[in-house]
Structure 1
């Protein structure tokens, strides 16, 4: 089981979760690929062995391509397939929307929909030094502390998420429609959408839809839950067909099949 925790005070506005894994045992036969479902957030992952992340372009792709052992996973609105046949010790962070510019050095829009080698942004020497420190730390708990300190050290002295974006994110968390969030901002829809998309990496409407998708995932992965028609009504979909369409768009499979697969972690679906 990965070790995960919330960051300490200095990083709490910018990082939602820190995690470290020792590299679980090899997955079961036929489970060498895992489908990762979108959260709308940016992920930062450092693999501590020299095995780079391997991504498959589609389900029929058996070769895929490698990215790096240190990866920025940009915000996305669809699933992707990764190789899990050789688990390795890893450390990662789930960044809060709007925080990429402060911690990574470029807004999330620069990484949206793709994986980027971290050394292309931070430089090879800095990434190599950090990975070596994390590797020699010995335990997952110690690695989390070191990784958190490294992220905190990257924060500028004057720091804070753009107030416009912070207000918008609070509105979306409260399930406000896009029009209401734009109205609160005092800006035109075009200006608001441009700033939000550059900072967060997703268009406002897509981001809001992903939040709703996340709520559905949480309820489906919790075990026995409501019928899909009731779930659709609870979460504001027009009907069950609307829920099915959006779920397939974001997950690449139906909510019924997702429920049958019963993934151990909500956004990690073994295939």
Structure 2
């Protein structure tokens, strides 16, 4: 059992934000993963786990080794194995293009096996398992694997990089003003963002605002929802609740009840006791 976290080393810093390792029993069989303004590369070192739903729609895909999760504008529900053993990298928003051989837009709202889109990733699981459960050794190996997988022909768009930094600092910044400040038309900025990170600047700003909101909630002394809404950039409480339900599948009060039960250490990941009842296609393997 163990957990480790470290910022990306200098050689990866323009592509990767952080590296992590986790090995322990899952808190619950199911887990709801909320939208975040970053993509992820994850290597499953234990038994497979499954992506069950995306935004309330059935998916039912197992993931056995390395996989890539693009920017997710909707929540996901996964089914954990009986024992979690995994590691991964949280990518910079524009970092995905430096690792994968397909446009980032084709990974938006998708999770894909890494084997055919990241060079050398078919052998990652075996290489990382050879670190013998040691968290720090595992992250050392992961660092080497990611450095070797970087695509030498890819550079990160400087205007997009600046735009991302400004929206991270102020997700309420008008997109038209951002485009003007960068010397671009509104339409050109949208095209550049979609090419670099897979989504338009407004979508990125919305995901960033939502992430800021989750990470800023003082769960030990929760204010009223009206007070919270006033600080989020959402204009009124009904609008906020609609946005919150779209991103999470929960009302704010239902989400907060879950955080009080399971803790607020990772506000974008919420354990679930039961799989939500949804329609599944004929022949789909359901969960019990």
Considering the TM-score relative to the shorter chain, is it more than 0.5? yes
Alignment of 1:176-255 (within 5 A): 176-220=173-217, 222-255=219-252
Q: State the partner residue of 1:258.
A: 255
Q: State the partner residue of 1:118.
A: 114
Q: Which runs of 5+ in 1 are unaligned?
A: none
> Which string of whole-angstrom CA distances, capped at 9 and with x for unpartnered residues, describes residues 124-163 of structure 1?
xx33422211101120111111101211223355764210
2:131 is equivalent to residue 134 of structure 1: no
User: For the residues of structure 2 that align with 1:115 and 1:58, how far apart are their CA atoms?
Assistant: 10
2:175 is equivalent to residue 174 of structure 1: no
Q: State the partner residue of 2:101.
A: 105
User: For the residues of structure 2 that align with 1:246 and 1:32, how far apart are their CA atoms?
Assistant: 27
Structure 1 residue 113: deviation in Å?
0.5
User: For the residues of structure 2 that align with 1:179 and 1:25, how far apart are their CA atoms?
Assistant: 47
Q: State the partner residue of 2:25.
A: 25
Q: Which runs of 5+ in 2 are unaligned?
A: 273-288
Q: State the partner residue of 2:87.
A: 91
Q: State the partner residue of 2:283.
A: none
Structure 1 residue 25: deviation in Å?
1.9
> Which string of whole-angstrom CA distances, capped at 9 and with x for unpartnered residues, describes residues 55-90 of structure 1?
113698899332442110111111010011423311
Q: State the partner residue of 2:49.
A: 53
**Other structure's SS at 2:51 match:** strand
* Contact 1:165–1:196 (CA under 8 A) maintained in structure 2: yes
Alignment equivalent of 1:43, drawn from 40, 45, 51: 40
**Other structure's SS at 1:89 match:** strand
Name the structure with the higher strand share. 2
| RMSD of aligned alpha carbons | 2.3
User: For the residues of structure 2 that align with 1:56 and 1:6, how far apart are their CA atoms?
Assistant: 30
Q: Quick one: structure 1 residues 153 and 77, their matched pair in 2 at CA, closer, same or farther if it must change by over 3 Å?
A: same
**Other structure's SS at 1:38 match:** coil
Runs of 4+ aligned structure 1 residues displaced above 6 Å come to: 58-63
2:144 is equivalent to residue 155 of structure 1: no
Name the structure with the higher helix share. 1
Q: Quick one: structure 1 residues 221 and 118, their matched pair in 2 at CA, closer, same or farther if it must change by over 3 Å?
A: farther
Moved more, 141-150 or 106-115: 106-115
User: For the residues of structure 2 that align with 1:249 and 1:60, how far apart are their CA atoms?
Assistant: 10
TM-score by length of 2: 0.84
Structure 1 residue 33: deviation in Å?
0.8
User: For the residues of structure 2 that align with 1:63 and 1:213, how far apart are their CA atoms?
Assistant: 24
User: For the residues of structure 2 that align with 1:62 and 1:13, how far apart are their CA atoms?
Assistant: 35
* Contact 1:42–1:108 (CA under 8 A) maintained in structure 2: no
Q: Quick one: structure 1 residues 64 and 106, their matched pair in 2 at CA, closer, same or farther if it must change by over 3 Å?
A: closer
